[in-house]
Structure 1
Amino acid sequence: MAKQISDLKLGILGGGQLGRMLIQEAINYNLVTHVLDPDHDAPCKDIAHKFECGSITDFDTVYQFGKKADIITIEIEKVNIEALEQLEREGKIVYPQPRVIRLIQDKGIQKQFFKENDIPTAPFQLFSSKEDLPNCAFPFPYIVKQRRDGYDGKGVMLISNADDADQAFESPLLAEALVDFDKEISVIVSRNANGDVRTFPVVEMEFNKEANLVEFLISPSTYPETIQQKAEKIAVSIASALNITGLLAVEMFVTHDGDILVNELAPRPHNSGHHSIEGNYTSQFAQHLRAIFNLPPGDTRALSNAVMINLLGEKKHEGLAVYQDLERVMAIEGVYVHLYGKKYTKPFRKMGHVTVVDQNREKAIEKARYVQQTLKVIS
């Protein structure tokens, strides 16, 4: 007799907020969760059935951890791929597949994948070091990214002149032509082992210009249906080309001419899907579990207009976190607060998020702007 889902142990590499929200959903299925994270005080620490403090980039640590799980998944891409490949060879189920994580770990390989599969993206060049940037074919300004290990806006630079190029990262680089875009959007797509695919409605994102990470998200998009269908079709084509099992977030630019260019991928639950907990019939976390356990996908339709605000640590504040004016925002109808269990704050650290739902889109945005201006994470 095949094991029920509640008889299986889910191993999660990474114990941050994504893992925390995944476990909160997993509880509904009586899933046993094991987590590996290098931080003794990781957000998952107190809610996982078993928490192990250790490196997620060390072969032996990841391999030994994975041997104790039935299914292994990730909440961050920076993991030891070789250990996951070995576990997969030995019959362990690893979703997303290690080959997918390997491709996405390197932004240069990711861009080559786009090119080889006719996926629209900004023109790019690859360089082994910043010393090669004088050979860049793009006019100033252009974008430079570290090919590996960049996240939450880190590892990205705007190169406006030769002096900026001299200050670029000391690592292999991806240079991109600067795109004059109207908005950045995201589509989250799920795919299970049977090949069943679902997309979440297109969302629009606003970025904190200083930290270069998502600060404000609106769902669903009000772009014309033709643009939304094009974006969803691109997301599905990428998931199919990767043959991924799990969740895939596809971040894209919409140009002023209505063209769509793919920016980056994330093979896991993603910041651009947090609103789905309250805003959609099925949350991205439930959908990820359905996909990796090869269950039927859930209904991804929006229940309401939903606006998500990232709670970022305030500048000049570092220490024990204090949530200023939490009571004021919680008094507003349709406001849902999610704190990530991080004891200490620092500038621009993701400390939580707030989702505002309202059947009236403008009211949802108005309430969310108030939350954004009122609720502060200080020390």
Structure 2
Amino acid sequence: MLSSRIGILGGGQLGLMLLQAAVDWNLDIHVLDPDPEAPCRKIASHFQQGSLQDYDTVYRFGKDLDVITIEIEKVNIEALEALEKEGKRVYPQPSVIRLIQDKRVQKQFYLDNELPTADFILTDNREDVAQHAEFLPAFHKLGRDGYDGRGVQRIATSADFEKAFDQPGLLEKAVPFEKELAVIVARNPSGELVTFPTVEMVFHPELNLVEYLFAPAEISPEIDTKAQEIAKRTAAAFKIVGLLAVELFLTKDGEILINEVAPRPHNSGHHTIRANATSQYEQHWRAILGLPLGSTNAYGPSAMVNLLGEDGYTGPAVYEGMEQLLATNQVFPFLYWKAITKPFRKMGHVTIMDDNMKDLKEKVDFVKKSIRIIS
């Protein structure tokens, strides 16, 4: 398995961290990405520029490879299906990516498999959304192509209907919740399944993307067990091979509801590179190559802070405050090889570790105040 020729569709920061993990095992990795300056470009032994959504490009990229995986869901499924039929090992499976690519189909999958999720209504356009004033407050989500907070609009009252997308989507009931949690599950072809510890995510109030997280989540053992079991059931229902990040709501009344899933390494697992015995990236390779899954034991409390481009700055990236971070014990910055910063662009992350949660939270505040990415 380790001698297989492996392809990654997508050369962004997730691909970069997959490559970094692959170096330890001398894996033969090929990367396809539309951006000639993608983060993977400078360290990938085999990099090809090309569209991830063009059938011919994806098919030609994969036809001489043994194993193909993704770091982004927006890829040409038909090409992956053709490659799978020809005997290529495509993980996650094209059938799984197809289910997850469209949030409308994804939500129906939860209902069909008796997996808990918030109430929702499928909508075809903006006019359709406006017929459901009694369902508010809710969130309108694009069926396809929403990513990192894009493709989601809060519809609190009928006055907000103009914000709804004029495309197929779903109107999801706004759930009063205590915390947003995530569990990353790994599953290999033999069905072996392992989870990482439950994390607690804190989202940016305006951008709807993770600003920082804590691991482990500060929840009761009973809630943790429930979150872990739901994540395992979800991965088993999809029969996924690889990683599945399961984002969850902990409601005010102690219920766990599935928000969304991602069939790949995920923002909620970045900290595992330093904080756990096996990182999510190494675990992904273990899973898709049919190897034994690694221990997910945590070395102690940890946190992850996303490094976002400062508002008002576009141009060559300048990282202010790096010396302060590097002078702080158990603070590990990871930068994504993105030469150009833009407002709120993900430019890197910082993993933070400590022996207790109180000191960890103080370090998170320090990191958030210490570093700025400007131009």
Q: Which residue of 2 aligns with 1:130?
A: 126
Q: Which residue of 2 aligns with 1:147?
A: 143
Q: Which residue of 2 aligns with 1:344?
A: 340
Question: How far does the alpha carbon of each residue in 1:322-358 deviate from its partner, in whole angstroms, 9 at most, with x for none?
Answer: 1011111111000001000000011110000000011
TM-score by length of 2: 0.98
CA shift at 1:164, angstroms? 2.1
Contact 2:273 2:280 in 1 (8 A): yes
Q: Please give the alpha-carbon distance, in whole angstroms, between the structure 2 residues aligned to 1:246 and 1:138.
A: 40
CA shift at 1:139, angstroms? 3.6
Q: Please give the alpha-carbon distance, in whole angstroms, between the structure 1 residues aligned to 2:43 and 2:6.
A: 13
CA shift at 1:136, angstroms? 1.9
Q: Which residue of 1 aligns with 2:238?
A: 242
Q: Please give the alpha-carbon distance, in whole angstroms, between the structure 2 residues aligned to 1:97 and 1:211.
A: 31
- Unaligned runs of at least 5 residues, structure 1: none
1:322 to 318, 332, 335: 318
1:108 to 104, 108, 112: 104
The AA in structure 2 aligned to 1:193 is P
Which aligned pairs between 1:150-161 and structure 2 lie closer than 5 A? 150-161=146-157
Q: Which residue of 1 aligns with 2:182?
A: 186
1:305 to 301, 304, 313: 301
CA shift at 1:137, angstroms? 5.8
Which aligned pairs between 1:1-379 and structure 2 lie closer than 5 A? 4-5=1-2, 7-136=3-132, 138-379=134-375
Percent same amino acid among aligned pairs? 55
Question: How far does the alpha carbon of each residue in 1:107-149 deviate from its partner, in whole angstroms, 9 at most, with x for none?
Answer: 0000000001111110000011111112226443210000100
CA shift at 1:169, angstroms? 1.6
SS of aligned partner of 1:206:
strand
Deviates more, 1:166-175 or 1:198-207: 166-175
SS of aligned partner of 2:127:
helix
Question: How far does the alpha carbon of each residue in 1:162-202 deviate from its partner, in whole angstroms, 9 at most, with x for none?
Answer: 34212322210110110110010000000000110000000
The AA in structure 1 aligned to 2:309 is G
CA shift at 1:24, angstroms? 0.2
Q: Please give the alpha-carbon distance, in whole angstroms, between the structure 2 residues aligned to 1:16 and 1:362.
A: 33
Contact 1:321 1:344 in 2 (8 A): yes
Q: Please give the alpha-carbon distance, in whole angstroms, between the structure 1 residues aligned to 2:157 and 2:175.
A: 17
Contact 1:130 1:173 in 2 (8 A): no
Contact 2:4 2:67 in 1 (8 A): yes
Q: Please give the alpha-carbon distance, in whole angstroms, between the structure 2 residues aligned to 1:75 and 1:138.
A: 38
Q: Please give the alpha-carbon distance, in whole angstroms, between the structure 2 residues aligned to 1:165 and 1:147.
A: 17
Q: Please give the alpha-carbon distance, in whole angstroms, between the structure 2 residues aligned to 1:98 and 1:245.
A: 11
CA shift at 1:8, angstroms? 1.2
Instruction: Please give the root-mean-square deviation of Cα atoms over the aligned residues, in Å.
Output: 0.9
Q: Please give the alpha-carbon distance, in whole angstroms, between the structure 1 residues aligned to 2:8 and 2:64.
A: 11
Q: Please give the alpha-carbon distance, in whole angstroms, between the structure 2 residues aligned to 1:277 and 1:364.
A: 17
Question: How far does the alpha carbon of each residue in 1:180-235 deviate from its partner, in whole angstroms, 9 at most, with x for none?
Answer: 10010000000000110000000000000111100110001121111111111011
Q: Please give the alpha-carbon distance, in whole angstroms, between the structure 2 residues aligned to 1:160 and 1:263.
A: 18
Q: Please give the alpha-carbon distance, in whole angstroms, between the structure 2 residues aligned to 1:101 and 1:125.
A: 22
- Unaligned runs of at least 5 residues, structure 2: none
Deviates more, 1:197-206 or 1:358-367: 358-367
CA shift at 1:304, angstroms? 1.2
Contact 2:155 2:163 in 1 (8 A): no
Contact 2:245 2:262 in 1 (8 A): yes
Q: Please give the alpha-carbon distance, in whole angstroms, between the structure 2 residues aligned to 1:140 and 1:264.
A: 20
TM-score by length of 1: 0.97
SS of aligned partner of 2:7:
strand
SS of aligned partner of 1:72:
strand
Contact 1:138 1:177 in 2 (8 A): no
Q: Please give the alpha-carbon distance, in whole angstroms, between the structure 2 residues aligned to 1:158 and 1:287.
A: 35
